[in-house]
């Protein structure tokens, strides 16, 4: 007890207010102080936990709050690792992940059993349990690769997949040894455990994504979506614990099944990462530090010997597993460093095993894992976490630098600035979220929200409505950690305001909502969009979303013949590929064979991770052929063209009636690519009642060509 100015302070502190205050101070200042020393903030939080814990200055006690928030943080790490995984890359590398998982389990098991029996002179059962602690690992340093934007690297996917395998096997060893001690191991033990795990896995894999898709479609409230995801995480963990396995595997599995419902660049993903990285994961790391007792190194020669052997064997076996994986699959040295850095840290499953083993008595008063192993374990946790953090930080910085160097090109790239005119409050969320999926993922800006006020119809109500629309747009973008530039413009008409803003801000494209047809004589796109297409050669995307963008399951793209000859061909293909990657959905292109070759070549070269499909669409006269491929939860993208350009087709004039008839209940995007030249006076897809003389000539020529071809 310390008396300062007649204020009594008892250590360890038990008042909840002071406990939470001190934890927040540690989370705030530990990274700031250690960043000056170029030490990872993860190490800083663990060291802070050592200092304030009962084995340090005894300022805080590892009470139930640290156990609760620590478990939440551990679940969060596993959930985020599954959520941010590139599933297509994981499918391609699943054999590599399986091989690494077996390497990182079997090598520590063999070296651990041999070293424990020969050097430490433990019995076989103790040696097996000790070796299983080396085999398991915790993805403590995953936030580092996530911070560098490397979570979709193949080496990261391989490590995460291998982690699930080795942790499951290590926990299975723990369950077997515990069952042997209680006399529960028999034929029914294996059958019953297998049945329970299979049932729980089926429930998570089959029902969770369908429940998530239904919930996100019907409830768009941000708080409800966040709480729903948390419920799914802990429900998955609880179900796995009921099946006799560790709950962290359930959290990881939930992350995998919700992967395609939560795009990497989305408000919900930003909230999940923010809360986890700001509170839950730091709480877990501080709690890990509070367990570590540095004095265990000096309690005796045997404790020091055990700690050294455990740390060396655990670290060397994980490095050897990473090295063998690199050599087997011809990977770069930097990828090996990432695998080693992510897989070396020991924490969650290791603590579970040592605490269980310390409670199991092989004879009265003699635990299976004695106090020397317990102390050696906490020392091993400290050093493996430090080594893991340093290795991961070094490898991540190295890979990020290499990728930035490789991405440089002699040809300067066009600056991406997506202009989003907002007028209808009901369309704002859909348009902004669509633009977020198409933007460059590494950029945190590049979006421009525009509210145009007609000079001839200015009123206080319109000004207030425009201001609210811009504020709403900025809020949606800010929730995804993207800065939105908001612009209010007064002009003679709406189209003129959009065109002038497009030029002034050097916008690369426009995303606009589909016009609502009011009268029978009104055109499909509306007069505003027609004037916009007349006045600019820039890419224009006209969007109608019927369901939240993140719940789309497929993108169906209708591509006209000769689209590859347009200036903006690769630009719109890139935007759709980004959407496919973010949503994790299939992108199905319908085009002729010549265009298909260009599509396949570009996607295979630039976006191999896209789940692309290709089908032939020889004739654009009737889109009825696509009705069997477009469902309610699909996005139909129709790539059109302005009149007078090379990919323009007279059959475009029929598209408004066909879309209204066949695809009225589907989300839609009509896309006009960049087409440089003098804007034409007459537009395709906008005047279905208009048929010029040139159209008849083109139709006759087309008919004659087909007739002679048949002959």
Question: Vertex 94, ends 318 and 84: CA angle to 5°?
Answer: 85
Q: Which pLDDT band holds residue 541 (cuts at 50, 70, 90)?
A: very high
Q: Which pLDDT band holds residue 516 (cuts at 50, 70, 90)?
A: low
- For the ranges 93-107, 472-486, 665-679, 697-711, which has the lowest average pLDDT? 697-711
- pLDDT digits over 289-347, tens only? 787 777 766 666 777 888 888 889 989 999 999 999 998 888 888 889 989 988 888 87
The C-alpha atoms of residue 137 and residue 344 are separated, in whole angstroms, by 6
Q: Which pLDDT band holds residue 230 (cuts at 50, 70, 90)?
A: very high
The C-alpha atoms of residue 379 and residue 295 are separated, in whole angstroms, by 9
Mean pLDDT, the chain, whole residue set:
81
DSSP secondary structure string, 365-412? TEESS-HHHHHHHHHHHHHHHHHHHHHHHHHHHHHHHHHHHHH--SSP
What backbone phi and psi angles, to 5 degrees, belong to 122?
-95, 160
pLDDT higher than threshold 90 for residue 163: no
Stretch 437-452: mean pLDDT:
87
Q: Which pLDDT band holds residue 427 (cuts at 50, 70, 90)?
A: confident
The answer to whether the beta carbons of residues 635 and 669 sit under 8 Å apart is yes
The C-alpha atoms of residue 409 and residue 421 are separated, in whole angstroms, by 32
Instruction: Report pLDDT for 183.
Output: 63
- pLDDT digits over 351-386, tens only? 767 766 777 777 676 777 777 787 777 778 878 888
Question: Vertex 104, ends 348 and 316: CA angle to 5°?
Answer: 90
pLDDT higher than threshold 80 for residue 522: no
- For the ranges 547-551, 569-573, 659-663, which has the lowest average pLDDT? 659-663
The answer to whether the beta carbons of residues 375 and 303 sit under 8 Å apart is yes
Instruction: Report pLDDT for 573.
Output: 93
Instruction: Report pLDDT for 599.
Output: 92
The C-alpha atoms of residue 131 and residue 135 are separated, in whole angstroms, by 6
DSSP secondary structure string, 571-598? HHHHHHHHHHHHHT-EEEEEE-HHHHHH
- pLDDT digits over 410-420, tens only? 444 678 899 99
Helix axes 41-52 and 16-35, enclosed angle (nearest 10):
140
The answer to whether the beta carbons of residues 654 and 684 sit under 8 Å apart is no
């Amino acid at each position: 007890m310390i008396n300062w100015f007649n204020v009594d302070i008892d250590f360890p502190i038990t008042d909840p207010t002071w406990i939470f205050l001190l934890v927040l101070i540690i989370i705030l200042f530990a990274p700031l102080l250690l960043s000056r020393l170029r030490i990872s903030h993860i190490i800083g939080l663990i060291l802070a936990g050592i200092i304030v814990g009962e084995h340090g200055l005894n300022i805080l006690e590892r009470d139930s709050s640290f156990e609760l928030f620590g478990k939440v943080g551990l679940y969060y790490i596993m959930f985020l690792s599954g959520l941010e995984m590139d599933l297509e890359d994981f499918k391609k590398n699943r054999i590599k992940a399986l091989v690494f998982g077996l390497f990182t389990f079997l090598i520590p098991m063999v070296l651990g059993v041999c070293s424990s029996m020969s050097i430490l002179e433990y019995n076989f059962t103790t040696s097996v349990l000790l070796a299983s602690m080396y085999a398991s690992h915790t993805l403590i340093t995953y936030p580092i690769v996530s911070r560098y934007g490397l979570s979709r690297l193949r080496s990261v996917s391989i490590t995460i997949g291998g982690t699930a395998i080795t942790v499951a096997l290590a926990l299975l060893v723990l369950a077997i040894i515990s069952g042997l001690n209680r006399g529960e191991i028999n034929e029914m033990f294996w059958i019953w455990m297998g049945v329970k795990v299979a049932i729980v896995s089926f429930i998570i894999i089959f029902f969770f994504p369908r429940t998530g898709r239904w919930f996100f479609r019907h409830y768009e409230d941000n708080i409800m979506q966040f709480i729903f995801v948390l419920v799914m995480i802990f429900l998955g963990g609880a179900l796995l614990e009921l099946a006799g396995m560790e709950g962290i595997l359930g959290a990881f599995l939930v992350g995998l099944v919700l992967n395609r419902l939560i795009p990497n660049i989305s408000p919900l993903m930003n909230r999940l990462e923010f809360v986890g990285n700001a509170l839950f994961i730091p709480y877990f790391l501080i709690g890990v530090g509070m367990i570590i007792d540095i004095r265990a190194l000096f309690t005796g020669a045997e404790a020091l010997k055990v700690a050294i052997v455990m740390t060396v064997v655990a670290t060397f076996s994980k490095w050897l597993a990473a090295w063998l994986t690199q050599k087997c699959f011809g990977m770069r040295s930097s990828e090996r460093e990432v695998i080693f850095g992510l897989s070396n840290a020991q924490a969650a499953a290791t603590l579970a095993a040592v605490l269980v083993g310390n409670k199991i008595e092989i004879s009265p008063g003699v635990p299976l894992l004695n106090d020397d192993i317990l102390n050696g374990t906490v020392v091993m946790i400290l050093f493996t976490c430090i080594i893991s953090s340093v290795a991961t930080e070094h490898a991540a910085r190295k890979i990020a630098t290499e990728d930035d160097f490789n991405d440089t090109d002699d040809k300067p790239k066009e600056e991406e600035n997506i202009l989003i005119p907002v007028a209808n409050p009901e369309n704002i969320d859909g348009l902004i979220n669509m633009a977020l999926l198409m933007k460059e993922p590494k950029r945190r800006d590049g979006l421009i929200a525009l509210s145009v006020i007609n000079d001839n119809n200015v009123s206080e109500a319109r000004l207030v409505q425009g201001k609210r629309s811009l504020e709403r747009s900025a809020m949606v973008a800010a929730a995804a950690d993207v800065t939105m530039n908001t612009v209010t413009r007064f002009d003679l008409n709406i189209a003129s305001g959009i065109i002038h803003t497009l030029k002034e801000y050097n916008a690369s494209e426009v995303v606009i909502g589909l016009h609502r047809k009011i009268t029978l004589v009104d055109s499909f796109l509306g007069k505003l969009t027609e004037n916009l297409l007349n006045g600019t050669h820039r890419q224009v995307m006209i969007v109608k979303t019927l369901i939240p963008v993140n719940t789309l399951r497929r993108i169906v793209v209708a591509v006209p013949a000769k689209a590859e000859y347009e200036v903006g061909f690769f630009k719109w293909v890139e935007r759709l590929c980004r959407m496919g990657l973010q949503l994790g959905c299939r992108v199905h292109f319908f085009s002729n064979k010549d265009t298909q070759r260009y599509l396949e070549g570009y996607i295979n070269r630039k976006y191999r991770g896209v789940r692309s499909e290709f089908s032939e669409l020889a004739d654009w006269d009737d889109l009825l052929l696509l009705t069997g491929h477009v469902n309610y939860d699909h996005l139909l993208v129709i790539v059109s063209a302005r009149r007078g350009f090379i990919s323009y087709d007279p059959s475009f004039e029929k598209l408004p009636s066909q879309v209204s008839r066949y695809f009225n209940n589907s989300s839609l995007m009509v896309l006009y690519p960049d087409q440089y030249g003098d804007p034409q006076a007459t537009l395709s897809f906008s005047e279905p009642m208009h048929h010029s003389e040139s159209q008849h000539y083109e139709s006759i020529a087309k008919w004659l060509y087909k007739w002679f071809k048949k002959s």
